[in-house]
Amino acid sequence: MSTPTLYGIANCDTVKKARAWLQDADIDYGWVDYKKTPPTAALLQGWIGQVGWETLVNKAGTTWRKLDDAAKAQVTDDASAIALMLAQPSVIKRPVLDRGGKISIGFKPDTYQALFSK
């Protein structure tokens, strides 16, 4: 299997926990910081194809909460969600773990344990 890639923001506490878990489990992984290397529309479309835009857009996060109501109301489908995520990558739920093209959103130790024990 190819090396997994973890996407997120370096200062995010949940991302820090996921990175620590991977390191403690001695799992080699690639790291992509949204702030330094924003995801492309094609990558986001692939993620949405697996989990849906509703899962990928972090409506509980600070970035979403800071949007005005009109901007929030415009996010209604794949295309509008991608436009928002391209403009504001911090609104993407994190971390995103890509294991050979299959993605997992968020971090829970039990979930990662299950993913890497297969």
Q: Which pLDDT does position 2 carry in this prediction?
A: 81
* DSSP summary character for residue 40: P
- Per-residue pLDDT of 32-78, as tens digits, reads 999 899 999 999 999 999 999 999 999 999 999 999 999 999 999 99
Q: Which pLDDT does position 67 carry in this prediction?
A: 96
Residue 118 banded pLDDT, cuts 50, 70, 90: low
Give all domains of the chain, ordered by start, each with its CATH number: 5-116 (3.40.30.10)
Contacts for 4 with CB less than 8 Å, ≥ 6 apart: 22, 27, 29, 30, 97, 98, 99, 100
3-state SS assignment for residue 56: helix
Residue 117 banded pLDDT, cuts 50, 70, 90: confident
The catalytic residue positions are 12
What percentage of the chain has pLDDT greater than the value 90?
A: 93
DSSP codes of every residue in 74-97: T--SHHHHHHHHHH-GGGB-S-EE
Which segments of 9-77 does DSSP mark as H helices, in order? Answer: 13-24, 41-51, 53-56, 62-66, 69-73
Per-chain mean pLDDT for the chain: 95
